[in-house]
């Protein structure tokens, strides 16, 4: 036996409170994310998106840089939800399913941890990794903003929009964790979240607004519009959306389109409801999940 034996203090160890264990677990999991290839890969993708945005703005300028609000409304409002979805897929897609598929869960579940502790700890770690990606994207846009608008590169709306984007990230991550808890195969979590948030909700929104012709308050893709509309003037802070109707003639056809835009408070409520339903649903699923 190498080394001297170290006896632990007399009496049994005091297992930390679940809250402390959540913090500890989140810290280790976050470090695991920071060292992972997927973190580097996603950072590369976000930088690539930033470079494309920079090139488009530099090439076209015009209306894109007419004002700082128009610039952030277009690129932060349009880009940050996409980055949030990517982050959720990359960091949450296999967060729970991977514990079964890769058998790392047997390592954690042999420890005196509640299942909820594992779930929440991993959620916080994935969220922090996602926040890092959102910050990276924000920094790239702000650097562009400083170049074009100098001292006006930091409108107050940007701060609120960033917070809204973080709420959206938590909602998408909640959904990702739900799917990840639903299946024991990582790929399902990845694919379902990506399909649903990149294509599915947008299609659903088109159906609800175009065919059913009602405000799509039940869809998170509707809520994320709040991230961009905060840059509009005047800002709709309310709990109900704005309806804009426009019409145009295409040949002999008279086409009327109705656009629904979520109020800021309405968007926040929808996102939080999604977060709570998905995260709690996922947690309940994980509580019943067996490592068989």
Interface positions with another protein (CB under 8 A):
1-9, 12-16, 18, 21, 24-25, 28, 32, 35-36, 102-107, 109-114, 288, 290-292
Smallest separation (angstroms) from another protein to the CB of 44: 18
Could you give the C-alpha distances from 26 to 122, 175, 281, in angstroms and in order?
Answer: 6, 19, 20
Residue 13 or 250: which CB sits closer to another protein? Answer: 13
Residue 15 or 214: which CB sits closer to another protein? Answer: 15
Name 190's Cβ contacts closer than 8 Å, sequence gap at least 6: 89, 93, 94
Residue 122 or 264: which CB sits closer to another protein? Answer: 122
Rounded Cα distance between 60 and 65, Å, is 9
Residue 26 or 173: which CB sits closer to another protein? Answer: 26
Rounded Cα distance between 284 and 119, Å, is 10
Rounded Cα distance between 263 and 266, Å, is 5
Smallest separation (angstroms) from another protein to the CB of 278: 24
Smallest separation (angstroms) from another protein to the CB of 20: 8
Strand partners, 247: 256
CB atoms within 10 A of CB 146: 13
Smallest separation (angstroms) from another protein to the CB of 16: 5
For residues 260 and 241, is the Cβ–Cβ distance under 8 A? yes
For residues 90 and 46, is the Cβ–Cβ distance under 8 A? no
Residue 132 or 275: which CB sits closer to another protein? Answer: 132
Residue 98 or 216: which CB sits closer to another protein? Answer: 98
Smallest separation (angstroms) from another protein to the CB of 87: 19
Smallest separation (angstroms) from another protein to the CB of 292: 5
Reported residue count of the chain is 292
């Amino acid at each position: 036996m190498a080394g001297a034996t170290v006896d632990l203090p007399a009496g049994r160890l005091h297992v930390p409170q679940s809250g402390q264990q959540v913090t500890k677990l989140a810290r280790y999991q976050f470090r695991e994310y920071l060292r992972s290839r997927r973190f580097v890969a996603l950072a590369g993708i976000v930088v690539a998106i930033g470079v494309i945005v920079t090139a488009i703005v530099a090439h076209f300028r015009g209306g894109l840089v007419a004002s700082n609000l128009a610039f952030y409304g277009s690129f932060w409002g349009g880009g940050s939800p996409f980055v949030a979805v990517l982050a959720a897929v990359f960091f949450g897609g296999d967060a729970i399913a991977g514990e079964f598929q890769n058998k790392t869960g047997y390592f954690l579940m042999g420890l005196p941890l509640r299942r909820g502790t594992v779930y929440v700890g991993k959620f916080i770690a994935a969220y922090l990794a996602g926040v890092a990606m959102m910050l990276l994207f924000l920094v790239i846009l702000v650097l562009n903003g400083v170049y074009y608008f100098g001292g006006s590169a930091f409108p107050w709306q940007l701060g609120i929009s960033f917070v809204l984007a973080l709420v959206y990230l938590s909602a998408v991550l909640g959904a990702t964790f739900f799917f990840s808890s639903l299946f024991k195969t990582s790929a399902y979590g990845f694919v379902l979240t990506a399909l649903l948030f990149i294509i599915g909700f947008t299609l659903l929104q088109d159906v609800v607004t175009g065919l059913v012709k009602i405000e799509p308050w039940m869809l998170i893709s509707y809520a994320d519009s709040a991230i961009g509309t905060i840059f509009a003037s005047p800002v709709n802070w309310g709990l109900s959306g704005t309806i804009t109707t426009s019409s145009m003639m295409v040949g002999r056809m008279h086409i009327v389109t109705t656009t629904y835009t979520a109020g800021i408070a309405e968007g926040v409520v929808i996102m939080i409801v999604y977060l709570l339903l998905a995260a709690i649903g996922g947690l309940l699923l994980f509580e019943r999940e067996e490592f068989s």
